[in-house]
Amino acid sequence: MKYKTIIVVSFLFCITTINARDSKFTQKGTGPMYWIAYEYCIENDIAIPEERWQKNIDWINENFKEYGYDMISNDGWIEAAQTINANGFITKYNSQWENGFKYWNNYIHNKGMKAGIYYNPLWMTRTAFSTNCPVIGTNVFAQDIAGEHSFNSELHWVDVEKKGAEQWIKGYVRYFINLGFIYLRIDFLENYETHYGTEKYAQALKWIAEEAGDEIFLSLVMPNCYNNSETELKYGDMIRISDDCWDGGWNFVSDRKRGIVNIRWPRYWNVFDGFISFSDIAAKGQMIMDGDFMRMNTMNTIEEKQFLFSLMCITGSAICIADQFDTIDDECIEIYTNKELLELNKVGFAAKPISNDIYDNINSTRWIGKLPDGDWVIGLFNREDYSIESGINFTTELGIKSGTVENIRDLWEHKDLGSIADKYIVTLKPRSCKVIRIKVVISH
């Protein structure tokens, strides 16, 4: 794992040089495809039961693994994880579960899939604190490294200024790697930075990244992203770009506080605004955007479902199913298994909006990018509640020589549209999209 030096130009025309984490994960250019246990937890405000966890794993294995969804991850409600080992590290997602991480990781691996873990290595459980466990590789104990501010009554924060904090943080990362996890979802980063400051926050992420190397994917959740995401670019593989999915629906996709910008987390409240704005730092070897989870069953129409899925695929985001075996229907499954769109993720494709100004409704809703084979992929989105005309000029906006378009393919209709002269124009229904793939004649 190395670092890439990049230049970020802000809207104030200030030029900032940043060293970005250049890992094997960011080199792929797109996020993982996986299932996460979010939906049950948010709907019931408790950790997912073990029996339901297994049923969902089996369901993903039987219905989605062949399409590339090859990872399973827990999510949140982690306060119930108070069963620890001698070093103070949690051994189960929930203390009420019969089986721990080792058992379930083996279960997942035996089905030919990978395991991800939701946790923050800066956390120390109430049990670890009260037991005052020894910090591995040091002569200090858990209470010696606990900070003044706690996350909540069940989880303390570790203060990076304390002797032994580095060993605790790196030890936790190494512990997860040794358990076979390949993805680490690190949440509530804004809370740590708010209480302990940016310098300590950066130090913590630096230690996590040093231990992670290319062995485990680092997903940074709820980051403040101050100064053009300077800290996050250095130490993360992927960042959340907007507020949580919560109840899902069109509100999550486009409407929630549309056009409002915050100075800290969440910078944006809906995922479309977030993708537009953060697209300027998303690039191979640099950063992957995370649009959070999809609860496809909460979308009202097939057009809304296609819109959401297209957005996740075309931006290079992680493609994460949060629906469950008993909350989904066949139409949603058909959306999730569109092979022509999933190919974009598999080849590391991430488009850019023509404009990353969230107030430029015409150009920020038109996304363009090139595939490794030279084909163009264009995403045209209508965020409005009324029909609009949208399109792309091949010559002036893509630089394609006039008359060289061999074929245009509609990736939702799965139809070849043939050659079109110089531009593609379409009327988009409310809350709908078109994703097309343009093949150009290559002259030798």
CATH code (residue 123): 3.20.20.70
Are residues 328 and 398 part of one domain? no
Are residues 314 and 220 part of one domain? yes
Would the pLDDT of 10 be above 60?
no
The domain tally of the chain equals 2
Are residues 276 and 390 part of one domain? no
Residues 319-360 pLDDT 10s: 999 999 999 999 999 999 999 999 999 999 999 999 999 999
Would the pLDDT of 17 be above 60?
no
Q: Is 375 a catalytic residue?
A: no
CA distances 443 to 406, 427, 439, Å, are 12, 32, 13
Catalytic annotation, pick one of 187, 244, 273, 323:
187
Is 298 inside a domain boundary? yes
The encoded tokens of residue 77 equal 């409600």
Are residues 388 and 255 part of one domain? no
The encoded tokens of residue 91 equal 């051994």
Residue ending a domain, choose from 350, 381, 405: 350
Are residues 390 and 275 part of one domain? no
Is 14 inside a domain boundary? no
Percent of the chain with pLDDT over 70: 95
Domain housing 83? 20-350
Residue 2 binned pLDDT confidence (cut-offs 50, 70, 90)? low
Are residues 393 and 328 part of one domain? no
pTM of the model: 0.95
What does the alpha-carbon distance between residue 333 and residue 336 come to, in Å, rounded to a whole number?
Answer: 5
At residue 228, φ and ψ (nearest 5 deg) are 60, 40
The answer to whether 39 touches 73, Cβ cutoff 8 Å, is no
Residues 400-420 pLDDT 10s: 998 899 999 999 999 999 999
The encoded tokens of residue 220 equal 């940074």
The answer to whether 350 touches 315, Cβ cutoff 8 Å, is yes
Are residues 426 and 371 part of one domain? yes
Are residues 392 and 258 part of one domain? no
Runs of H (alpha helix) within 48-188 = 50-63, 101-110, 126-131, 142-145, 165-178
Q: Is 187 a catalytic residue?
A: yes
What does the alpha-carbon distance between residue 95 and residue 168 come to, in Å, rounded to a whole number?
Answer: 21
Are residues 384 and 325 part of one domain? no
Catalytic annotation, pick one of 70, 75, 159, 237:
237
Residues 140-173 pLDDT 10s: 999 999 999 999 999 999 999 999 999 999 999 9
Residues 183-229 pLDDT 10s: 999 999 999 999 999 999 999 999 999 999 999 999 999 999 999 99
What does the alpha-carbon distance between residue 310 and residue 297 come to, in Å, rounded to a whole number?
Answer: 16
